[in-house]
Amino acid sequence: MMQVIQTISELRGVLDATRARGGTVGLVPTMGYLHDGHLSLVGRAVEECDVVTATIFVNPLQFAAGEDLDAYPRDLERDRALAERAGCDVLFTPSQTEMYPEPMRTEVTVASLSAHMEGAARPTHFAGVATVVAKLFAIAGPCRAYFGEKDFQQLAVVRRMASDLSFPVAVVGCPTVREADGLAMSSRNVYLTDDERAVAPVLHRALTAAAAAVEAGERSGAAVRAQMTATVAAEQRADLDYAEVVDAATLEPLDELRPGATVRLLVAARLGRPRLLDNVGVTVPE
């Protein structure tokens, strides 16, 4: 039976006992309103760890003023049932005062990786993410922590934060889970109207067509960006924020796609209320 825990001290007690028995702890940090993407992270953690802890905490530090902190979708009862069915052992659902009893005076920032793409659109976002994830690592002491590739820049920021701060944790990136028409699963998809939902797969279409062009011999980063931009721009409702071609490890924008390079294509567009993000990987053929 899954345990639901609200306090840091109780969670530490349970996970200290797990480690004392020689058990491994897997951590799946989420903001709740769980979908199959989150559940795939739990599933992977269940395969690889003895005790799986998922966290549900809508972290105010990663929302700027005017963003959707208050409106962010929440359904704890449904999340509990889904997490338990997926094999989660512990669900950590701290309150805001449990996580931040005092105004935070400490902030974790990951320079350079946080500056462009999502960081340009949301300048305070990644510091909020890195800070709460560092805190969750310090609280839970996981051996392995699971994050979706859907938020590819977040994954890179978390990996670098864990490495720079020597957290003894393996950060595991897991493939994006998609709806049948290609739309990447996201809790914020609930904001889409029916008409916007019908248009939303354009992001994935733009990415897969651009990846196919790279596989067919396109070697210009600018041409790949232009192709993705044109595909998204053809949908009047979609307001493109960026279309990027970056090195998958460093997130540096690429002008020339060298044979053998591991490249990530990323797009973000506003579609009505939500900003949708998506990305795919491609290896440049030799």
Does the protein bind ligand PAF through residue 83 (CB under 6 A)? no
Does the protein bind ligand PAF through residue 59 (CB under 6 A)? yes
User: Least separation, in Å, of the C-beta of 78 and ligand PAF?
Assistant: 16
One of 5, 49, 132, 280 touching ligand PAF (CB under 6 A)? 132
Does the protein bind ligand PAF through residue 172 (CB under 6 A)? no
Report, in angstroms and rounded to the nearest whole number, the Rg of the chain calculated over CA atoms: 19
One of 18, 26, 29, 89 touching ligand PAF (CB under 6 A)? 29
User: Least separation, in Å, of the C-beta of 197 and ligand PAF?
Assistant: 21
Q: Quick check: 269 and 117 in contact, CB under 8 A?
A: no
**CA distance linking residue 28 with residue 42, whole number of Å:** 6
Does the protein bind ligand PAF through residue 151 (CB under 6 A)? yes
Nearer Cβ to ligand PAF, position 31 or 140? 31
Q: Pinpoint the alpha helices (H) of 101-169.
A: 118-121, 125-140, 152-164
Of the residues 35, 38, 125, 204, only one is catalytic, namely 38
One of 133, 192, 263, 267 touching ligand PAF (CB under 6 A)? 133
Say whether 116 is catalytic: no
Q: Provide the 10 A C-beta neighbour count for residue 106.
A: 7
Sign of the Cα torsion 193, 194, 195, 196 reads positive
One of 30, 53, 153, 189 touching ligand PAF (CB under 6 A)? 30
**HSE-up (13 A, CA, CB side) for residue 170:** 11
Residue 106's alpha-carbon distances to 24, 102, 103, 178, in angstroms, are: 29, 11, 9, 36
User: Least separation, in Å, of the C-beta of 22 and ligand PAF?
Assistant: 28
Binding site for ligand PAF (CB under 6 A): 29-31, 59, 62, 129, 132-133, 151, 154
